[in-house]
Amino acid sequence: MRNELRIERATLGYGMDPVLQDVNISVQPGEILAIVGPNGVGKSTLVKGACGSLPLMNGEVMIGDQNLRELRPDRRARMVSVVSQAVNLPPAFCALDVVLMGRTPYLGWLEQESDRDRQIALEAMERTETIDLAARPIGELSGGEQQRVLIARALAQSTPVMLLDEPTAHLDLRHQDNLLKLVRDLAFVDNLAVMITLHDLNLVARFADRVVLLSNGRVRRIGVPAEILTPDELAEVYGVRIHVIPHPLDGKPLVLSG
Amino acid sequence: MGDSRANALPESVKSQGVRRFLPWIWSGSALIVMLFVSVAVGPISIPLPDLGRMLLDLLPGLQLEADWSRTFATIVYQIRLPNTALMALAGMALGGSGAAYQGLFRNPLADPYIIGVASGAGLGAVLAMAANWPVSLLGMATVPLAAFIAALITVAIVYAIARVGRSTPVTTLILAGVAVSSFATAMTSLIMLLSTDELHRAVNWMVGGFALGGWEPVLASLPYLLIGLTVLALLGRQLNVLQFGDEQARQMGLDVERSKLIIVVAASLVAATAVAFSGIIAFVGLIVPHVVRLLWGPDYRRTLPLAILVGGSFLLAADVVARVILAPRELPVGVITAVVGAPFFLWLLYRTKGRGRIW
């Protein structure tokens, strides 16, 4: 596989304190890998480490045969893009300008965006159905729209790997659904390798191909949703009683607490 | 397919045609007008036709018959033009560095004066003067150098204190700026008290009037300002990306540390040069970028060069007011900018309450 993401024997943390140890994960092109675990377990840290913005304390992140550690920031950003939570965005920039900033890794220090960059940004906005918002300041957009604009920006980076950190956090049911359908399209149609952190285990069951369960600073298990989303695994990790029943429509696991 | 949709985009996104150049036309003409007004206004009135022809005579290729009086020529060429040029340059430096600091700290209240860089640079300049460095052209260049180094040290200290985690909140930035600024001002006063004879010109200078006249300070400050302002005007795209925070900027492929370093060095260089030659002039770097953003939007590729142009006109306007309001007495220009700027600052602070940021 040419552009798979591989995190190998990685230790991640801040300063001298490791948050996650001995992490071995790989994501294939066309696949959605979900990262789950309780608050504070290090899901966001894992995203920062996997995109190279947080240097690893140990281990390597590889994309294809490229080692992220050895790449300059702009080269890294051509390999992996990140969609973070839509909070604290500078509200006055219009959506198109925001998406155009996804072209940063392809521009030299004094270079400005070309017509081709503009074209790529507009196509990314078509893809995410944000083209009609192009002229609107992002501060005026709804949470769901902002999140789609950030996905368009990541798409404009034209990377083989995309990481998403809690993209559904502040969205209602319909927007959660639409957003994750879009993400699934990006994996299936555009053949991106997608790693996504999610709180909602039922969304994980519906949209993820494989799941990584983090617990106590380590990877506890990796597997398909049906293997991971079981009462035994989850009860121990989350510290609550868990019931899993089949979804009435498609039979996928439905996770309930209490 | 993108093409057809692109044509359907609203005018504001395409920003084609003349509209795109309007901000430049406005701010450019305002600067030219203010340059002319500043040269025209003074205790001795010079007939406008004479003045106009004296200025035209400066343009290359135009050779006019010099039928104006020698006194007028001396006043215009040796006093008013250099003073006007120095004032315009100081305004441009303050406007540009203010916009850069605001973008860098992602903080609407950052300005060379409020974050203490101006006082720090002032301390550096006074130290250099107290060390009795000669006021030759070479000596002129050492004062801004000392101011520049002191400004960099100040901004590093203020940033280190103000930083909370990965951001610089409004409150801590202002508090750190006030504390560091007070300390630098106190040290400056102490040095001036201890060395009475040499530093009376520094006293004048501290309140925003320059003690040195003629073309010497203009020529001495020009290289610093040219380099610094050019760098700032070119790095708008990097500042745009930095508005999303260090983390996202890094993920978009920006070399964050290098960008910030270059911007902070360039902004401190021009702010320090302005302080070294024109004294501490408050609030220009605060007001001008806000006005530019309100009029023409958030894009730093435009905000920075426009703040430089508007900064020049704004300080010239303040200076003209300072010279005529109590004529024949001339007020230091810093008094006018503070009288306008302090209420503006309070208004911004009021709007910022509870939100943490305002644009």
Give A224's pLDDT tier (boundaries 50, 70, 90).
Answer: very high
Contact call for B247 and A105, based on CB within 8 A: no
Helices B117-130 and B170-194, axial angle in degrees (round to 10): 20
Q: Which residue of B has its CA nearest to A76?
A: B253
CB B248 within 8 A of CB A88: no
* Complex ipTM > 0.90: yes
Q: Where do the structural domains in chain B lie, given as residue ranges? A: 87-352
Contact call for B13 and A135, based on CB within 8 A: yes
From chain B, the residues in CB contact with A78 under 8 A are 253
Q: What is the pLDDT of residue B353?
A: 62
Which whole-number Å values give the CA distances from B187 to B155, B162, B193, B276, B298, in the listed order? 17, 21, 10, 16, 38
Q: What is the pLDDT of residue B356?
A: 47
- In what side-by-side order are the strands of the sheet with A80-83? A80-83, A161-165, A193-197, A32-36, A210-215, A218-223
Nearest Cβ partner for B254 among A73, A110, A122: A73
Best B246, B252, B254, B295 member to test A by mutation, with max A CBs in 10 Å, is B252
Q: Where do the structural domains in chain A lie, given as residue ranges? A: 5-257
Q: What is the pLDDT of residue B243?
A: 94
Nearest Cβ partner for A94 among B3, B13, B293: B13
Beta bridge partners of A63: A5, A66
Mapped onto helix, strand or coil, the DSSP state of residue A248 is coil
CB A5 within 8 A of CB A32: no
From chain A, the residues in CB contact with B1 under 8 A are 123, 126
Q: Report the mean per-residue pLDDT for chain A.
A: 93
> Which residues are within 8 A (CB) of A173 and not within 5 positions of it... i.e. 6 or more apart?
none
Which CATH number fits the domain B87-352, given the four candidates 1.10.3470.10, 1.20.1050.40, 3.90.100.10, 3.40.50.300? 1.10.3470.10
Report residue B31 as tokens: 């600067």
CB B298 within 8 A of CB B307: no
Report residue B201 as tokens: 């010109």
Report residue B47 as tokens: 């007939």
From chain A, the residues in CB contact with B290 under 8 A are none
The alpha-carbon gap from A182 to the nearest alpha carbon of chain B, in Å, equals 19
User: Mapped to the 3 state alphabet, what secondary structure does chain B carry?
Assistant: CHHHHHHCCCHHHHCCCHHHHHHHHHHHHHHHHHHHHHHHCCCCCCCHHHHHHHHHCCCCCCCCCCCCCHHHHHHHHHHHHHHHHHHHHHHHHHHHHHHHHHHHHCCCCCCCCCCCHHHHHHHHHHHHHHCCCCCCHHHHHHHHHHHHHHHHHHHHHHHHHHCECCECCHHHHHHHHHHHHHHHHHHHHHHHHHCCCCCHHHHHHHCCCCCCCCHHHHHHHHHHHHHHHHHHHHCHHHHHHHCCHHHHHHHCCCCHHHHHHHHHHHHHHHHHHHHHHHCCCCCHHHHHHHHHHHHHCCCHHHHHHHHHHHHHHHHHHHHHHHHHCCCCCCCCHHHHHHHHHHHHHHHHHHHHCCCCCCC
Look up the CATH architecture of domain A5-257: 3-Layer(aba) Sandwich (3.40)
d(CA B339, CA B337): 6
pLDDT digits (tens, 9 = 90+) for A229-249: 999 999 999 999 999 999 988
From chain B, the residues in CB contact with A55 under 8 A are none
Q: What is the pLDDT of residue B355?
A: 53
Best B251, B260, B304, B359 member to test A by mutation, with max A CBs in 10 Å, is B251
* The model scores a pTM over 0.95: no
Q: What is the pLDDT of residue B209?
A: 45
Q: What is the pLDDT of residue B330?
A: 83
d(CA A177, CA B318): 57
pLDDT digits (tens, 9 = 90+) for B142-167: 777 888 899 999 988 988 888 876 66
Contact call for A104 and B6, based on CB within 8 A: no
Residue B279 CB coordination number (10 Å): 23
d(CA A223, CA B34): 71
Best A76, A78, A79, A94 member to test B by mutation, with max B CBs in 10 Å, is A94
The alpha-carbon gap from A88 to the nearest alpha carbon of chain B, in Å, equals 8
Q: Which residue has the higher pLDDT, A107 or B198?
A: A107
> Which residues are within 8 A (CB) of A101 and not within 5 positions of it... i.e. 6 or more apart?
A153, B240, B241, B244, B252
From chain A, the residues in CB contact with B252 under 8 A are 77, 101-102, 104-105, 153, 157
> Which residues are within 8 A (CB) of B290 and not within 5 positions of it... i.e. 6 or more apart?
B108, B344, B348
pLDDT digits (tens, 9 = 90+) for A73-88: 999 999 999 999 888 8
Report residue B48 as tokens: 């406008």
Low-confidence ranges of chain B (pLDDT < 70): 1-17, 132-141, 165-168, 170, 195-212, 352-359
d(CA A254, CA A189): 27
The alpha-carbon gap from B298 to the nearest alpha carbon of chain A, in Å, equals 6
d(CA A253, CA A228): 10
Report residue A101 as tokens: 């900033």
- pLDDT > 60? residue A54: yes
